[in-house]
Copies of this chain bind each other. A is one copy, B any other.
Amino acid sequence: MNIPRLSCPRVVIVGGGFAGIALAKQLSKQEVQVVLLDKHNYHTFQPLLYQVSTGGLEPDSIAYPLRKILKNFPNILFRLAHVEAIDVANNKVITNIGDLSYNYLVVASGSETNFYGNTTIAENSMVMKTIPQSLDLRSLILENFEDALLTSDLQERDKLMNFVIVGAGPTGVELAGALAEIKKGILPKDYPDLDTRRAQINLVQSGDSILKDMSEKASIKAEAFLESLGVNVWKNLRVTHYDGSLATTNTDVTFETATLIWTAGVKGATIKGLDAASFVTKGNRVVVDEFNAVKGLDNVFAIGDIAHMVTAQQPKGYPMMAQPAIQQGEQLGKNLVRMLAGKPMHPFKYKDKGAMATVGRNKAVVDLKRWKFQGVFAWFVWMFVHLFFLIGFRNRAVVFVNWVYNYIRFDREARLIIRPFKKRHNTKQGNH
């Protein structure tokens, strides 16, 4: 991997998401050599992936070069690498570009889609955890409308215009709302020769409420917002099988659909060597103590989505979201500095900053500790907070320009099929 061995300790961080970046920043200017590994050369702002999928934002404005984040920190090196395994016995990380030894290892590998073992859904559904996946979904949605135009078979046409989103967490709700706005504002103009009123957006939730991690008020209001936009909200319904054409459920409800989007679950993105039953718990998360140390190992830590930390404050573990990840990254950074200085570490304390989700234009729900509100103001708060947390001035400026434009013009101009999804395997490389 061509990394010099210095006399100071080496901290290897696996993953440049919210947690990994927050940690790396804390370790800058310290007497440690930090090596950050990620399979992408950019940090992804995951909360806005659904806007990439629905043509509201360009992918490049929610991604930020990892090397740029780190460029002012001479003690931090970056390597573009897939981590294949961790050898905890020999303090070594095994990657596609070679092995790397560590004094301290921090796993911040995040989460991946959880299909709960359902292979038909895993094989045939779309997911939205990375930028390429979001772009694939964008292409598929647009290709489906292009194909709907070509068929005279009404059943086939309806199937192409029927969208089923499984899972009514923030991602599912936001995606359903965005698709409903596209149906209303863009399709009739883009496809004058297609009866786009027949397009359906279905949001399927296994429990009896949507946004179940938010307040009841937020849940009820978000559902009302979705219904006002024409989304079919299905509760207490579980999709059990999907062959790419027909989705069946635990009841007699079925959906004929060419597009099933699975946002119903995530699990820890475990890594070989740290995936034994002694390390992981429910949802593939690595069990850590209140200092983010992995159970049974004294120089391996886990932070963010991958870490399962049980505290009196949070007996079920922290939610797999940006805020706990950022705060754990910062806290572990400070703790490592303390530890290296021979001082005791401080236990993690989570500051709950609330939760929010947006359904559409002027429609969002916000839960703060002492104040829960919905509607236009919530929507502005949602936008402001997301702009604030985006990394980089240029990204903020470009996202802001897009949002202002989309708001004024009821438009989403990034409806581009740059890389076709359906025909990808038939076209010659670089030829589409």
Contacts and interface: CB of A to CB of B under 8 A. Distances in A.
Contacts of A394: 401-402, 405, 409, 411, 413
Interface string A394-422: 11011001100100010101111111000
Interface of A: 1-3, 39-42, 58-61, 63-65, 67-68, 71, 74, 77, 79-80, 97-98, 127, 130-133, 135-136, 142-143, 146, 149-152, 189-193, 392-395, 397-398, 401-402, 405, 409, 411, 413-419, 424-425, 429-430, 432
Given A68-B190, A191-B67, A395-B413, A41 B419 contact: no
A346 to B, nearest CB: 32
Given A136-B430, A395-B413, A413-B394, A60 B58 contact: yes
B416 A65 contact: yes
A80 B421 CA distance: 14
Q: Which of A79, A150, A392 has the most CB of B within 10 A?
A: A150
A2 to B, nearest CB: 5
Contact of A80 (B132, B146, B430): B146
B132 A419 contact: yes
Contacts of A60: 58-60, 413-414, 416, 418
Contacts of A398: 58, 398, 401-402
B150 A418 contact: no
B131 A418 contact: yes
A71 B189 CA distance: 6
